[in-house]
Amino acid sequence: MATLTVSNDVTFHYTDSGPADQSQYTTIVMVHGLCFNSEIFGRLSPLAKAHGLRIISVARRGYLSSTPYTPDEKEVLYNGSVEQQSIFLHSQGVLLALFVDAVIQKYSISEAGGIAILGWSMGNIFAMAMLAAVHTLPPDVKERLQRHLRSYICFDAPNVALGIPFQEGSYSPLADPNIPPQERIDAFKIWVSGYFQHGDLSKKDFAQLNQRDFETNARKPTVSTMSPEESTSIFDGLTGAEFDGPVISPGNFEGILRSLTSKALFDPEIRHEWSRLRIHFMYGEKTIWLVISSMWELEERARQAGIDYEFVTGANHFLMWDEPETFLISLDKIIMKPHIES
C-alpha cells in the first residue's frame, strides 16, 4: 500500500506494479468503479512488466484509506444545486489530475513512455472530469500532463457514467422493486459480474440485449468465483452506496454527466488542449447491457471525433479479474496505436 497527498486535506491510496524492465514503458493509472475498489485490478500487477507496462491503481475518495468526502461535500452530493454538483465533480477531476501529476514527479515518468488513464465503469466519471478540468489546472501541472498523457481508455462505461438516461422498461437490480432495498447491493454485485449472452449485436438493436439472465450454467458471475477473502477485500457496498449512490441514481446527476461527457470527449477546445491524447472506448461482448447500449448511443459522435473502439470477444464487466492476460493484450493493442496530434 502507498499513499500520495495531493492537497492539504486529500490523500489517495494506490498500488503500484513497479517499473517495467525496459527504459521506456507506459504507466497506466486505473480508476475503479462503483463498490469495487482499486484491488479489483490486483491480478494485473504480476503480469504488467511482461507487457512493458507499469500499473498504478488508485482508490477513489472514501475507498480503502483514501480521504472520504467531507460533510459539506456530502451535503452537495445529496442536496446541492446543479451548479454546486457540477463544481463538486470538477473539483474531483482536479484532484485526480493532481494525483497523476504527483505520480509523474514521484516516479520520474518519462515523456517517451508516457501516461495512460483508464476509467472502469463509474470511474470514467472522474477520468472525464480530469480531462474537462484542463483549463483550471495549475500551469505547471497542466504543462506536465499535456506532455505525458497519451491515452484515455474508457473501459466498459455504463449509461449512468455518461449521462445517458435509462430506456423505458430497462432493468437494474438497484432499482428492482421485487428485491428488498437492503438486498439490492448484493444482487447488484452478482448481476454486474455476470456473463450475458446477448442477441445479434451487429444489429445495434436494444431488443437484442439480454438485461437479466446471465449464463449461470456456462460461466459463473465473477463475484461467485471469488474467495470470501477476495470478495471482502475488493467489494465495499456501504461506501458505494454512501459516496457514489447519489451520482448514479437516475435523474440526479444525469444532465451534469451528459454535459461532462460532451465536454471531455467531444468539445474541440478540450480536445485541442489534449492534442497528444488519443481516446479509446473498450468494452466486452458479454458485459451488462448498460455498457453496450451506451457504446451504440455514442458511436456516431465518437467516429466523428476520432475515438477508437476496442471490442473484446467473450468479455464481461470484469475482464481484468477473470482474464488479466487478455485484458493486458487489449491494452497493448490500444497503446501501440499511433498517436495523431491535432
85 located within any domain: yes
What's the CATH number where 52 sits?
Answer: 3.40.50.1820
* pTM of the complete model: 0.96
pLDDT reported for residue 223 = 97
Residues 6 or more apart whose CB falls under 8 angstroms from that of 209 comprise 196, 198, 199, 289, 292, 293
74 located within any domain: yes
179 located within any domain: no
Outline where the chain has alpha helix (H).
45-48, 71-79, 82-106, 123-132, 139-148, 159-162, 184-192, 222-225, 228-234, 237-239, 245-248, 254-261, 268-273, 289-304, 319-322, 324-336
Domain count, the chain: 1
Mean pLDDT of 254-267: 98
With H, G, I as helix, E, B as strand and everything else as coil, classify residue 312.
strand
118 located within any domain: yes
Residue type present at position 167: Q
pLDDT tops 80 at residue 258: yes
Question: In this predicted model, what pLDDT tens digit does every residue of 267-291 receive, in sequence order?
Answer: 999 999 999 999 999 999 999 999 9
**10 Å Cβ neighbour count for 302?**
19
pLDDT tops 50 at residue 342: no
Cross-strand pairs, 4: 12
Strand 115-120 and strand 278-284: the pairing is: unpaired
190 located within any domain: no
Q: Which domain holds residue 96?
A: 2-166+237-336
97 located within any domain: yes
Distances (CA, A) of 1 to 15, 43, 208, 256: 6, 15, 43, 34
192 located within any domain: no
219 located within any domain: no
